Structure formats: C-alpha cells, structure tokens
A and B are shown apart, each in its own frame.
Chain A
Amino acid sequence: MPDETLVDVWGLAPAVLVIMVGGLALGLVVAAVDRAVVSGEAGRAVVEPLLAGARGLVEQRRTTLAPDRLLWRIGCAAVPTLALLSLAVVPVGGRTLWSTSADLVWFNAMEALLWAAVWLVGWGPNAVHALTGGYRFLAQGLAYELPLMFALITAGLAAGSLRTTDVVAAQEGLWFVVTMPVAFVVFVAGAAAFAFWGPFAAPAAADIAGGVTSELSGVDRLLVDLGRAVFLGAAAAMAVALFLGGDAGPWLPGPLWFLLKTLAVVTALVWAGRRVPVLRPDRTVEVGWMVLVPLTLLQALAVAVLVLNGFYA
C-alpha cells in the first residue's frame, strides 16, 4: 500500500502550499544560477529574475492582430501549472504530495501536456515567428520524447515500481546512476529539451526573434518563463530522486541532502548547457532516433538483466 503522503502528514492545503512555494523557489534558483553562469555576476543574479518577474506583473500586455486569445491564454497558463503538477510526485524527505502506482507516468504525462501548451503559446498570437517556434518545439519533442520515456522507465524497472518513493527506497544500497549512467544523462538532457532551454532553446531562439516567446508580454511572458524555470528545477529534483539516491546521505538530515543534490544537478546542468551552442531541431531528430533510442534501449536491457540476476534485490 502507498506510504504516507505529504497530504496525510500536513493536511491538504498546507502540503499543496509548501509544494507550490517550493516549486517557485526552485524556479528562482534555476533562473539565478542561469543568470550567474551567463553574466558571471553572482550578486545581481538573484535580484534580476525577481525584478523581471515584478516587471511582468505590472507591465501592460501588448497584443497582435486577430490572435486566438482563448487558446493563447490557456497555453500560457498551462506551462507553469504543468510544471507545478509535475512536482507533485517528486519525493522530498521520503514523501510526495501525491502518491500513485504510476508516478513516473504522471511526470511523463505532465511533460507531454507541455507539447500542447507550448504549441498553443506559439499558435495563439497569429504571428509567424511564434508559430515557427511552436512547430520547432514539436520537432524537437519527436527527438527527445522516446529516449526520455525509456530513461524514466529504466529507473522504474530497477525499482520494480513506478512509485517514486519506491524508486528512492530501492537505491539504499547503490545509487541508480552507477548502473544506468546513460539513462541519467538522457533524462537531464531531455529536461533541458522540454524546458526548451540552453542547447535546446531553438523554439525560442534569436534567429526567429524569440520564437514562441516573441509575442509574449506582461503576465504571459512571466508565466511561460516561470514555467520553464520551474520545469527545469522539477526535472533536476526528479533526477536526484530517480538516479542520485533521493535524500540519502550521511550526517545531514534527508531534505537538506535532497536540496544540496538538486542544487548540484541544477548548477552542473546550467554550467554545461550554457557552454553548448543552440542545436537545430532538424539536426537533433536523427541523433535522437538513430543514437539515443538504441542506447537507452540497451541501457534498459542491461538493467533488466541485472534485475533478473537479483542485483537490485
């Protein structure tokens, strides 16, 4: 039966509030690390995203000619909502907000719904650059989605469960990253791709004037940028839970270890990702299908053989 969830321990409203605030703080951390790596000025890095956020709240919206306003707004609001929903199954201190028998699929589904949301953000303004960005996201999605799914399922395979708390518990002896390094790298790279950040920022790249984000202003831009940052943070936290032993660690309390590991993953991801140029989506699809799909399948096969030999038991 499911373990106790955060809702059982703290009650519904406080637990949801904690996860929401934690998610927003995680997004701020990602944005700050990103600013610090890009500009090299650590001091202003925390203030700048906050200022940009405050500006987004008060800035007047500009609009375009004949936008599809309903779908545009739905898309913008969906990006941060999905990011926060994906956090519901990330275990902190051994507990998740919501524990189901298909946590990994839930995380994957939130990221898949992002396909629809980002395409809508590109579609809504009735503008060519934005729509091009939306289609670029889908093209990129076709490249990263299957390797990402295989990476997720590999962790579930070793744990014998799709519940994230079970996956963390299964890593008591050995962190999964040791036996599944390919899945770990693919998962983190996939996270950068679905947040269309760093080398995978082609949907919002400068060559199409900002792509999906080109016509966003005010609250809409705030929501989309916030959603991308929170998603990246949520994926880093998920990577810690799935591959880096969750909150296991000596001396310090569990949640602190979890926080430190998440910070380390975010920093490593941003530091490495910002050193790679933006990749063209038409160059990533073939790599995804010809290289990453076989590689992740082989990784899953290796883990399956280890499972049969009782390596993880």
Chain B
Amino acid sequence: MLTDLGGWVIATVVALGILSVAAGIAVFVVDSMARATFALLASFLAVAGVLLALDLVYLAVVTALMMTIEMAIMAVFMIMFMMNPAGLMPMTMVHNAKGSAVIGAGAFAGLTVGIWTVDWPTRDVSRPADSTRQLGEAIMGSHMLVMLVIGIGLFATIIAGTVLATARGRYDRFGADLAAEHPDDPVPGGLPR
C-alpha cells in the first residue's frame, strides 16, 4: 500500500498525522472552551487532509463537512448547558484526568498493536478509477443493511437525546388534557399555527 505512494504524499501524510495528534493533545492543554473545540476541529481537518492526500476525496470532504458542523453544533450546546456560556473565563478542560489518561493510553496502545500485528489482506485488484463511485456502490449495495441499522440507531439516539434534554413536553405545550388548539411555546416558530 505505502509503496504505491510517492515520497511527497508520504511526507504530507506523516506531517498531517503529527499535526492531528498535536492538535488532539492541544484539546487538553488549552484552558478555553472555544480553543479546545477548535483544536479538536483542527485535528479532524488534519485527518481529512490525510484522506485527501490518499486521493479519497469524498471521504476527505465529508469528514471536513461533518466535523465542522458537529463542532459548530457543539458550540450551540455550549451556551445551553455551560455554567459559563461565553466560556471566556479560563477553565480546565479535563475531568477525571488520571482515569481518562489510562483509558486513552490503553486504547492507543491497543489500536497500535492491532494495526501493526494484524495480517492485513493484500490487494489483489487494481485501484478503482473513482473511489467515490466504489464507496457509493458499497454503501448502497453490499453494506446497505449495516448503513440502515446505523442510520436508524443514530436517528433514535438524536431523538432520545433531544427528549431527555428538553424540559418541556407535550403537556406543557398543549395543556393537561392535550386539548389546546395552539401550542404554548416560549419562542414562536416561523409558521402560523
């Protein structure tokens, strides 16, 4: 695999890999919510850069797109749930430092050992001309069941998380007997109802 790549590509991948790890470490070093969030984003973008260098354009741009929106949504949650919504006061970004360090180091060691010891299958076909099409065919074909199960699982998680997070239920909106004609919402939506 590595031998297929040119020297510049390998150098780029190594540099971006180091950058992503360094940005990941920075998440725990900085003392501001915003800097931690964007250090994490920088780490993800470096991973997207690695994918781009490996010519997996679709995976690269989707990683950048998803992670950016994810971090932005995280910023929204930051003001909803933080005691210090603006986050400008310096604050520690680590909780349970020892425990998480052990878990992190253990996971890193386990994955590294796995990556270098597993007997990876060798490629017996040539590289596809269009990796995006190949990916789409895999997702929409042989791996469709997996994708559907994951998709429904994620969707259920999102709904469950929202239900758990919101303090207001349908009885608050439509009254004790759910008979109100119009929902009683603190912020009116854009539609007339």
Binding site for B on A (CB under 8 A): 1, 66, 68, 70-71, 74, 100-102, 105-106, 108-109, 112-113, 115-116, 119-120, 123, 126, 131, 135, 138-139, 141-142, 145, 162, 282-287, 290-291
Contact = CB atoms under 8 A, between A and B. Distances in A.
Contacts of A283: 188-190
B35 A68 contact: yes
Given A68-B88, A101-B57, A291-B191, A112 B129 contact: no
Given A283-B190, A291-B191, A116 B72 contact: yes
Nearest to A74: B38
Given A283-B189, A286-B191, A109 B62 contact: yes
Interface residues of B, number: 31
A83 to B, nearest CB: 15
A287 B58 CA distance: 30
B72 A68 contact: no
Contacts of B32: 68
Interface stretch (B13-21, B63-71, B91-99, B118-126): B63-71
Given A101-B133, A105-B62, A283-B190, A138 B72 contact: yes
Interface in B55-106: 57-58, 61-62, 64-65, 68-69, 71-73, 75-76, 79, 86, 88
A291 B190 CA distance: 10
A100 B56 CA distance: 10
Contacts of A112: 64-65, 68-69
Contacts of A119: 72, 75
Nearest to B128: A101
B64, B65, B131 interface centre (most CB from chain A within 10 Å): B65
Contacts of B68: 109, 112-113, 115-116
A113 B64 contact: yes
B187 interface: yes
A208 to B, nearest CB: 15
Contact of B131 (A66, A101, A284, A285): A101
9 contacts: A1-B129, A68-B32, A106-B61, A116-B41, A138-B76, A141-B69, A145-B69, A287-B190, A287-B191
B157 interface: no
Nearest to B136: A162
A283 B191 CA distance: 8
B137 interface: no
A71 B190 CA distance: 33
Interface in B21-53: 32, 34-35, 38, 41
Given A126-B88, A286-B191, A116 B65 contact: no
Contacts of A123: 34
A199 B71 CA distance: 26
Contacts of A145: 69
A68 B34 contact: yes
Contacts of A285: 189-190
